[in-house]
A and B are shown apart, each in its own frame.
Chain A
Amino acid sequence: MQVLEEGIAEYLPVDPDGFREWVRDHKSRALEPKLMSEQDAVSKFVEDGDYLVYDCNYLQRGPSSLLREVMRQRKKNLWVGGKFTWVAVHLLVGAGCADKVDCGFFLFGKSIDRYAREGMVQIFEYSNVVMTARLQAGAMGIPFMPIRSFGGTDGVRYSGAKVIEDPYTGQPLVIVPALNPDVALIHAHQADAYGNARIFGTGVAHQECALASKKVIVSAEEIIDTEEIRRDPGRTSIPYYAVDAVVEAPFGAYPGECAGYYASDPAHVIEVAGAALADMVDQYLEKYVYSVANHQEFLEQKVGVAKLLEIKKRVATKEGYQP
C-alpha cells in the first residue's frame, strides 16, 4: 500500500493482536459482581502513564465523579483522549495528572494556553469525529480506520494520520490509527452489578470506548437488578464482559446534566468554565476536589441537598430516558 503523506506526531502504538491477548487474559467472561467504591475502582484500574478516555465530558453526562477521584488520587503522566470536551482536559492537566492530549475539542482560554506554552502538556491534533473513528477501529479489533474527512488539514501532519492510495479505488484516502486506550471512564444511567450498562439518549462514543479499552470503569446513577436487564435486553448499551468495575454514583455527572434524571447546575458550570478561562484551575481543584474524601462528601458538603433536589426537579423530560 502506497503511503502518500503521513503525520509526524507521536501516537499510541497500534497493536490489535496485543489488545486481543489482553482481552483474553484480563477481561473476565464470567458473570461476577464488580461493584466497588470509586476509590477502589480508580486505584485498581487507573495507573500512572495510562492512556485515558472518558465519554461525554465533565459538563455533559460524563463521569465527573470518577474524574474528580482520578485527580484526588493524583495520578500522573496520563495521556488523555480529548474528544468533545470542555474543561476536563484543563482540570486533568492543571491537577498534574495528564501531560499529553489528543485534541478533538476543548474550551480555549488562559489555562490551556499557559499549559501548552510552558510545556506542561503536549497536544496532538485530531477532531471529535476523527477520535471517535479511531475508537471505533479499536473497538472492532482492526488497526486503522479509513475516513473521508480530515484530509488536507494541518491536523494530518500533527497527528498519527496517513494518506494512502486506496487499493480499491486508486484514490487518495485518509487513514487514522486505531485507539485502544488503557482505561475508559463511562457514566451510565443504569448498570447491574456485572457491568451490563444502559445509557439513555444520545452520546458520543460510549460503546466504542467500552469495547476499545483495556480497562473499563462504569459509574451509574442507579444499580439495577440483572432481572431488569433481561426483561428488556435491547436496552443494554454495554455488555458485562467489557466492564471491569461498576461504581454506584448518583449525581455522578454533576455539574452536568444527566438527561432524564437531573438538569445541569449552571452556577457550578460557570464556575468551572470560568476557572479554566481565567487560569484559576488550582483554586477550583482545592475548593471542590482535594478538600473532600469522596463523591458522597462532595455531594454533602459542596453541593447540598437543596441543590440536588432542585436539579432533579428541573429535569427537562423523562421521555425516552427510561425503559
Chain B
Amino acid sequence: MTQATTFNEREMQICTVARMIENGRTYWVAGAAAPLYSILIGKRLYAPDAQYITEDGVIAPEPMLPFDPIMSMVSARAGYRALGWGTMNVAGAHAQVGLMDYGILNALQIDQYGNINSTAIGVYGREARRFGGPGGADSIASLCWRTILMTDQEARKFVERVDFISSPGFLDGTPGARERAGLPRGTGPWRLVTPCALYDYNEERRLRLIGVAPWVTVEEVLAECQHKPVVAEKVETLEPPSEEELDILRAHLDVRGQATGIERSHWVIWDGERYVRQAEEG
C-alpha cells in the first residue's frame, strides 16, 4: 500500500470504512453511493469473501463497474452475477432472521445515541425542511447485528437529539431501550465514520471519539460537533487512504465524483512533511 499524497476527505471516509470490511460477513446496504463503494473497495483489497445484499434483494453480486451513472438499484449492472435475486421483502426477511452482520448507512443528521434523521429538519409538522424519509435505512439500522454510520463532520449534523428519529440508534440511551421498542436484542450502532474522525459507542451507548485524521486535532473535531461526544483515553491517528484504494474508487466506482462530492469536500495534500487540509474555496 502506498500512502496517497492528494485526496479529499470524503475519499478518506470511504476508505476508512473499507478497512473495516471482514471476510465471511454479510453487509446490507441501500444499493448506492458511499456505503456500497466502501464494501467494494474492501472486497477488492482486504476481504474478498465479504458479501453484500442490496435492498432490492440482490445477494452477493459481482457487479459490472462502474455503475449506471445515475443509480444502481434494480439495475442489470449492479445485480450482475449475483448468487440470488429477490425483492425488498426477501431482503427484509433475511435481515429479520439475523443473516445480516453489518449495515452501512449514510446519515443526514445524527445524535449522541446514533439515532438518524432523514425526514425533516426543524419542528416536524410546523417549521421544518422536508427530506426524503428513511428509505431502507430504518430496516438496516433495526435488523443488522452492527451498524456502521457515515456522516459529515459538521456541527449541525451532530446534535444532542435529532429532530425526528427516522432510523433507530440506541433511542434514549437507556439500557434495553431498543428491545422495549420492539427491536431485536443485541443490535445497534457500532461505528460512526466522518471524513476526518472515527467514533464508537461506549458502555452507556454514547458516541465516543476514538480516532482522528493526521491533519486535525481532537479539539478541531470537537469544534465540529454541536453535541460533544465522549473522548476516549487514547485517540488513535487514522491512516490516510492508499493509492490502491483511491485508484479503485476513482477509476471504477465514483467515476464522476458524485459520492465524494469532489467540488464540495476539503482536499488534503502531503506537503513533504505532513498532511495539510486545504481551506474551502469560494
Residues of chain A at the chain B interface (Cβ within 8 Å): 56, 59-61, 82-84, 86, 103-108, 112-113, 116-117, 123, 125-130, 132-133, 136, 147-155, 158, 163, 171-174, 201-208, 257, 259-260, 263-264, 266, 269-270, 273, 315-317, 319-321
Contact = CB atoms under 8 A, between A and B. Distances in A.
Given A128-B55, A163-B182, A317-B80, A61 B92 contact: no
A151 B183 contact: yes
A127 B132 contact: no
A161 to B, nearest CB: 10
Contacts of A86: 71
B130 A316 contact: no
A171 B70 contact: no
B176 to A, nearest CB: 10
A123 B134 CA distance: 13
A136 B87 CA distance: 12
B183 A152 contact: yes
A217 B171 CA distance: 42
Contacts of B80: 316-317, 319
A201 B181 contact: no
A154 B164 contact: yes
Nearest to A204: B88
A69 B58 CA distance: 31
A219 B43 CA distance: 39
A149 B35 CA distance: 20
B182 A204 contact: no
Given A60-B74, A154-B124, A259-B79, A149 B179 contact: no
A316 B135 CA distance: 26
B68 A158 contact: no
Contacts of A130: 138-139
A151 B132 CA distance: 19
B209 to A, nearest CB: 25
Given A202-B87, A204-B74, A205-B89, 14 more contacts: A56-B74, A84-B73, A103-B133, A105-B133, A125-B133, A128-B134, A148-B96, A149-B142, A152-B171, A152-B182, A154-B124, A155-B134, A201-B85, A264-B70
B220 to A, nearest CB: 30
A125 B165 CA distance: 11
B232 interface: no
A310 B190 CA distance: 45
A169 B180 CA distance: 13
A267 to B, nearest CB: 10
A273 to B, nearest CB: 8
Contacts of A116: 130
Contacts of A269: 70
A259 B75 contact: yes
B135 to A, nearest CB: 3
Given A105-B135, A150-B138, A201 B88 contact: no
Nearest to A126: B133
Most buried by A among B56, B134, B179, B182: B182
Given A107-B132, A148-B142, A266 B167 contact: no
A149 B119 contact: no
A59 B183 contact: no
A292 B142 CA distance: 45
B168 A153 contact: yes
Nearest to A206: B87
Most buried by A among B57, B79, B85, B181: B181
B235 to A, nearest CB: 30
Contacts of B96: 147-149
Nearest to B141: A149
A104 B136 CA distance: 8
Contact of A158 (B76, B89, B124): B124
A132 B88 contact: yes
A-B interface, 6 closest residue pairs, ranked by CB to CB distance from nearest: A105-B135, A152-B181, A149-B142, A151-B182, A151-B181, A259-B76
